[in-house]
Amino acid sequence: MTRKPPAKRGNGEGTTRQLPSGNWRWEVMVEGRRHGGTAPSKTLARQAAARLIADATRGGVVDPSAETLGEYLTRWLEGKQASRAVRTHQIQSDHLERHILPVIGKERLQKLSPAHMRRLFDSLNKAGLGASSQRQVHQMLISALGEALRLELVTRNVAEVVKPTPARGKEKTALASFTAEEAARFAAAAAADRWGAPFLFALSTGMRRGEVVGLRWQDVDLDAAQAHVREIVTTPKTTGSRRTVYLSPDTVTLLRRVLASQAEQRAALVGSVRGHAKGYERKRQWADSGRVFVNSYGGTLLPGNLKRDMGRICGAAGVRELPIHGLRHTYASLALRGGVPVEVVSKQLGHASPAFTLTQYRTVFTSEREKWALNLSQLVGAD
């Protein structure tokens, strides 16, 4: 394709030209500095230039040569917030505030070098940040600087050049999931607890905390033993997160009990107080949120408020206190140990691939390792 010469425009309107890729490059001078970008069409390029000129008139233009990494990452995170899970945004914001800004946040975006990345990752090691958290920081920078590269704010993605080198740690002694014996004790304690149903359901299905509290009755088919994950309290992490979860007979029975209990709660909170001489109306009526698991008034359970209930149930069961996400790990590990194909478990969990399920969710229990400590004669197939 022949590159078209810059289109002539009026004074102060900038220039546009077509690139070999077919996109259009626009440039405009603002207060003695050249600004530019690309757009898929000539019309969109001119509109982008016009917006920048308008922003300059209002004093809202950021000089790309002077923008710092901290300023860019803050702006990038704000732009991504609507499309990210709430927890993911919180984690990335925390990494930015605690680890990135204090070390290299004041460096100019366009002057960023691999040496700056190495300085950052060395500081993460000194701070004792684990390998998983360091990978999160690295991936965040790769994504953010990758977008800066596509927007032609930088000439290369330095985060792809340097990788974190977390210190080697000892073998973990604490399991990320319950053993089969611990899970049985936890399930018994949850069944006896007033607020134990969501935890039993999470343990039985492997669903995320936000998926459990976001589940609605309209998305549950008890006769078909299916729960459709369509709406959760936080933004779904991947496309696979919106899925059909297949329920065991025990889990269907649990949901029928929950449904009957809700009907009793609803009846008790509708209308005036029973037996009151003056027909006193309740100040707080049943909310009828349509959720499967609700608070005392039918409203949505907040994921962050479940930690206290989890701790109480673990205490009653006499087991280690795991984070609620540990129930998801427990489901995966026990299902895989029981012989359920990894592809099935991965689909049930809503993972992007079975490989991720195995590497991130499969706990190999001590009892399994002891069982498979084979004699040499067994390994070589001797009689």
- Alpha-carbon gap, residue 230 to 227, rounded angstroms: 9
| CATH number, position 321 | 1.10.443.10
* Burial class of residue 11 in the structure, from the number of CB atoms within 10 Å of its CB (0-12 exposed, 13-18 middle, 19+ buried): exposed
Regions of the chain short of the pLDDT cut 50: 1, 10-11, 60-61, 170-171, 173
26 occurs within a structural domain: yes
What's the pLDDT score for residue 358? 86
What's the pLDDT score for residue 171? 46
- Alpha-carbon gap, residue 183 to 230, rounded angstroms: 28
Give residue-wise pLDDT tens across range 79-109: 888 877 777 888 999 999 999 999 999 999 9
What's the pLDDT score for residue 61? 47
| Cβ–Cβ under 8 Å, residues 185 and 318 | yes
Distances, alpha carbon 225 to alpha carbons 76, 149, 210, 308, in Å: 42, 48, 20, 30
Contacts of 375 (CB under 8 A, 6+ apart): none
108 occurs within a structural domain: yes
What's the pLDDT score for residue 22? 85
What's the pLDDT score for residue 237? 56
Give residue-wise pLDDT tens across range 41-86: 888 888 888 877 776 665 544 555 678 999 999 999 998 888 777 7
Identify the bridge partners of residue 243 per DSSP, sorted by sequence position.
229
What's the pLDDT score for residue 170? 47
Is pTM beyond 0.85 here? no
The pair of structure tokens assigned to 269 is: 């909170």
List the domain range (segments joined by +) for residue 139. 69-160
| CATH number, position 139 | 1.10.150.130
Helix (H) and strand (E) counts for the chain?
16, 6
- In three-state secondary structure terms, 291 is strand
379 occurs within a structural domain: no
287 occurs within a structural domain: yes
As for how many domains the chain has, the answer is: 3
- In three-state secondary structure terms, 309 is helix
| Cβ–Cβ under 8 Å, residues 291 and 301 | yes
- Alpha-carbon gap, residue 304 to 317, rounded angstroms: 22
Same domain for 74 and 52?
no
Same domain for 365 and 288?
yes
| Cβ–Cβ under 8 Å, residues 199 and 207 | no
Strands of the sheet containing 33-39, edge to edge, are 15-18, 24-30, 33-39
The pair of structure tokens assigned to 169 is: 């740690």
The pair of structure tokens assigned to 148 is: 């800066």
Judged by phi (left if over 0) then psi (alpha if -120 to 50, else beta), residue 286 lies in beta
Q: What is the DSSP letter of 21?
A: T
6 occurs within a structural domain: no
